[in-house]
């Protein structure tokens, strides 16, 4: 289980206890890091290490307000590491399952479920951002976890991507009233102008099933617990955070690229 998973499951009491341990460990490690670099002046005897730990512990207990900040710092570092280790896989879309500038300077990756009402509500935020930011690339990752109907719709969307009609199908599903269903998926297939026979065959495609599994495995590896979830730069945003939050995250990612 990653640090992200642990942090999400700790209650407030555990956050304080584990946070204090984390601050203590990190602080002592920094103080002693010179020894690891071969600095003779930094070689610390066990009794001196114990003294340092006692001083740091006393400071933490006297200033508990630093613990949440330390936990956030640890979590942010873990998120950055996870994203950097998986960036190519995260940002490389299934062929055709993207929108915007193919060579965009910033990639916004969207993990979504067609059966998710929050994804449906957030769809217009992504659409607005895409319309206003011509340098942005949107990578769509089907993450069907809610129902068999959302899995069927996800398979149909990948078929649409192969047919060069991904966005037409994607918009069609989210623009329809109510929750996704078999009937709405068929209607979106027709509205998007897909080849119905090919799409029906693709619903049982091992390759498309493998792509869905890859998305699910990737999302779980990143600690995603629901939809929608967004990845941009070195940040993970969870939930329907709104247009302004997405716009700000994209701007920050763009600034960090300079």
**Helix pair angle (166-175, 182-191), 10° resolution:** 130
SS3 state of residue 135: coil
Question: What is the side-by-side order of every strand in the sheet holding 106-112?
Answer: 98-100, 136-142, 106-112, 229-232, 235-238
pLDDT at res. 11? 39
CATH class of 92-256: alpha beta
Phi, psi for residue 194 in degrees, rounded to 5: -80, 155
Nearest to 239 by CA among 253, 224, 252, 256: 224
pLDDT at res. 5? 40
Phi, psi for residue 204 in degrees, rounded to 5: -115, 15
Q: pLDDT in tens for each of the 258 residues of the chain?
A: 433 343 344 334 434 444 445 555 555 554 455 444 455 445 567 777 788 778 777 777 776 666 556 555 555 667 667 788 888 999 999 999 999 999 999 999 999 999 999 999 999 999 999 999 999 999 999 999 999 999 999 999 999 999 999 999 999 999 998 889 999 999 999 999 999 999 999 999 999 999 999 999 999 888 888 899 999 999 999 999 999 999 999 999 999 987
Nearest to 169 by CA among 217, 215, 202: 202
* CA distances from residue 68 to 26, 60, 237 in whole angstroms, order as listed: 14, 11, 19
DSSP code for 92: S
Nearest to 222 by CA among 48, 31, 86: 86
* pTM attached to this predicted model: 0.71
R_g of the chain computed on alpha carbons = 23
pLDDT at res. 138? 98
pLDDT at res. 102? 95
> Where along the chain do the CATH 3.40.30.10 domains lie?
92-256
């Amino acid at each position: 289980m990653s640090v992200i998973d642990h942090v999400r499951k700790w209650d407030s009491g555990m956050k304080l206890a584990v946070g204090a341990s984390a601050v203590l460990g990190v602080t002592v490690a920094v103080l002693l890091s010179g020894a690891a670099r071969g600095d003779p002046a930094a070689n610390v005897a066990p009794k001196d290490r114990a003294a340092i730990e006692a001083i740091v512990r006393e400071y933490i207990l006297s200033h508990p307000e630093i613990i949440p900040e330390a936990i956030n710092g640890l979590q942010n570092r873990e998120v950055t590491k996870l994203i950097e280790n998986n960036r190519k896989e995260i940002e490389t879309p299934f062929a055709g399952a993207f929108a915007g500038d193919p060579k965009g300077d910033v990639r916004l990756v969207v993990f979504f479920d067609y059966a998710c009402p929050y994804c449906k509500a957030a769809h217009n935020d992504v659409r607005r951002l895409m319309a206003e930011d011509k340098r942005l690339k949107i990578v769509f990752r089907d993450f069907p976890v809610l129902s068999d109907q959302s899995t069927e719709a996800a398979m149909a969307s990948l078929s649409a991507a192969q047919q060069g009609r991904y966005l037409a199908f994607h918009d069609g599903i989210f623009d329809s009233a109510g929750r996704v269903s078999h009937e709405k998926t068929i209607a979106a297939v027709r509205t998007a102008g897909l080849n119905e026979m090919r799409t029906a065959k693709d619903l049982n495609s091992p390759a498309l099933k493998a792509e869905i599994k890859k998305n699910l495995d990737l999302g779980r590896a990143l600690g995603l617990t629901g939809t929608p979830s967004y990845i941009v730069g070195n940040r993970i945003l969870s939930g329907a955070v709104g247009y302004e939050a997405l716009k700000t995250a994209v701007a920050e990612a763009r600034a960090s690229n300079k």
